Structures are given as C-alpha cells and as structure tokens.
Structure 1
Amino acid sequence: MTLPELSKKLQQIDFCMMTTYGGKTLSTRPMSNNGEVEYDGDSWFFSYEDTRKIDDLKGNPGLSLTFTAPPSLLGKPGIFIAVEGNAQLIRDRQEFEARWTEGLDRWFPQKFNTPGLVLIKAHALKIQYWDGDEHDVIAV
C-alpha cells in the first residue's frame, strides 16, 4: 500500500487513539481525525493547553496513533493502522485558521480564538497497517 492509498482509507475513519508517554506511564485518549485532509504523514489535532497530553508532549514529543475501520459489508476485516511519530506543538493563530474545520466548534466554541488553544502536529516516522489480506510498513 502506498501513502496516497492509505490516505484514502484514513479519510473514512473519524477517530483515532493517541498515546503519549508521561515519564512513568503511558496515557491514551481518543482524538478526532480530520478526514477532509489528505494524509501526507502528518496528522493535526487541536487541544487545550492545560491537558495531560500537552504536558506529556512537552516532556517527550514521542507519540503513537492507532486507527481502525470496521469490517466491510462483504465480511472482509477492516484496516488497522499504527503510526509512530513525534509531535510539535503549534500556537500560531494563522495555523489554527488554516487547519480549522466547522466540526471542531463542538469542542472549541470560540473557534480558533479559544483561549488556551494549541495545535498538535503529529509527524509519522513509521506507519504499519494490517487489513486482513496483507500487512506492511509504509515509508514516510
């Protein structure tokens, strides 16, 4: 599978699980996946600054993302995707505006003007997938 083929599959998955490392423990939480964006190895997530995930990423930018899609109507297993990467924390309002989609209003009612807003850029270093027929690592 190529990165563009994987991007098409990721556009159909609404949420992923993000795991961060807090020094002594791992912490995992669901994050909204923006399916409107063509995946190029970078995932983008909005968050509030005063959260555990941001504290974790300040101490260690390493993270993992896991995505799953349900089986097809014909019984073929869904796809499982595991991304290992590093995060960059962005606090630039222009970047907020460029990455904003209306569905985010649910969590951030003042949109990109929300106080304490931060953007997480998760850059993939390694991507693995399993889809029932094949599994592999995609070079990023």
Structure 2
Amino acid sequence: MATDLSETDKTAAEVQDRIWELMDKINFAMFTTWDGQRQRSRPLAARPERARHAIYFLVDESGHKNDELERFPFVSLAFADNPGHKYVVVSGRAELSNDRQKIKDLWTGFDKAWWDSPEDPAIRLITVTPEDGELWDSPGRAVAAAKMLAAAVTNGRPDMGDNAKVGI
C-alpha cells in the first residue's frame, strides 16, 4: 500500500503509532479471510503486540478460517470504535500455529468463555504480521456532528479528522 497522508497533518510514524494505539484500545477485530470464492468475516479478540510487530488471536482448532488461512494467508482486520468515530483497517499475513507457550502468555480470564484453561489442546494461535494499515480518526461524536452541521449550512465539506494509509 502506498502511503497517503493527504488527509492528515500527522507523519507516517505518528499514524503508525495511532493505529497500534487504537488496535490495543478497541480489542476486537472483524477478522476477514478469503475462501477462494468470497470473503468471510468474524469477530475475534485481538491481542496486538507492537514490539513483536504482530497481532495475535486465540482460536479453536476447528473452523473454516483455519483451512482458509492455509490456502490464502492474506487477511484483513477491521477495528471499530463507533461511539468515538475511530476506525482502523489492517491487512497482512496470518499464520496458524500450536505455540503452547505463546497461548499461555496471551491467556486471560476472558478466554474462559471458550476454553477451560490455556492447556486446552483445542486452542490454536493465529499470528498476523501486519503489512499496511488505514486510519480514520475523528475528534468524536459531538465535534463530528457540529462539523457536519456547519458543512451542511455552508455547503462545504466537513473536516472529519485524520484519514491516512501507511505501511506498518
């Protein structure tokens, strides 16, 4: 993806920082795969680790997404903070593994909704190595509404905050 900073005053590094910050804050992503004929999306709990340049997901050993990743490892992740009008889309390569230590490291109480413990042999790890990202970062609902109203009155285009594409 080519860098496009035309709708922001941030540098590419600042946009990258903000993308990682929002992924960490939002926590859930619509994880989109390709099955050879169509895209398939599902919500998954994301565990981004910028220091490792990776986004991790704990998943079950069964499921269509695992087979899809074997054939088509390029995925898209969409993070949405609707009340804050903040959105991030990241694409990259995904790899399915049975890294038991990393699964234990990532385990939280939330995961008990799906598995009894990190030792459950059905848990698998998806590691996404992001290649590029896009950010839509509005100043918030109240400010966005005011800007849209002002634009409607003046027949102008509202400045809805930052939109930028970068490699990450």
Please, what TM-score do these two structures have when normalized by structure 2? 0.71
User: How do 1:18-57 and structure 2 match up within 5 A?
Assistant: 18-34=31-47, 38-39=49-50, 41-57=53-69
Divergent runs of 4+, >4 A: none
- The residue that corresponds to 2:75 in the other structure is 63
- The residue that corresponds to 2:123 in the other structure is 117
Asked if the contact 1:10–1:39 (Cα under 8 Å) also holds between the matched residues in 2, the reply is no
Q: Which moved more, 1:9-18 or 1:78-87?
A: 9-18
What is the alpha-carbon root mean square deviation over aligned residues? 1.7
Structure 2 residue 98 is matched with structure 1 residue 86 = no
Q: Report the count of equivalent residues.
A: 132
- The residue that corresponds to 2:28 in the other structure is 15
Structure with more helix by fraction: 2
Identity %: 26
Q: Secondary structure at the match of 1:23?
A: coil
Gaps of 5+ in 1: 73-77
Identify the match of residue 5 of structure 1 among 10, 18, 23: 18
Gaps of 5+ in 2: 1-13, 138-159
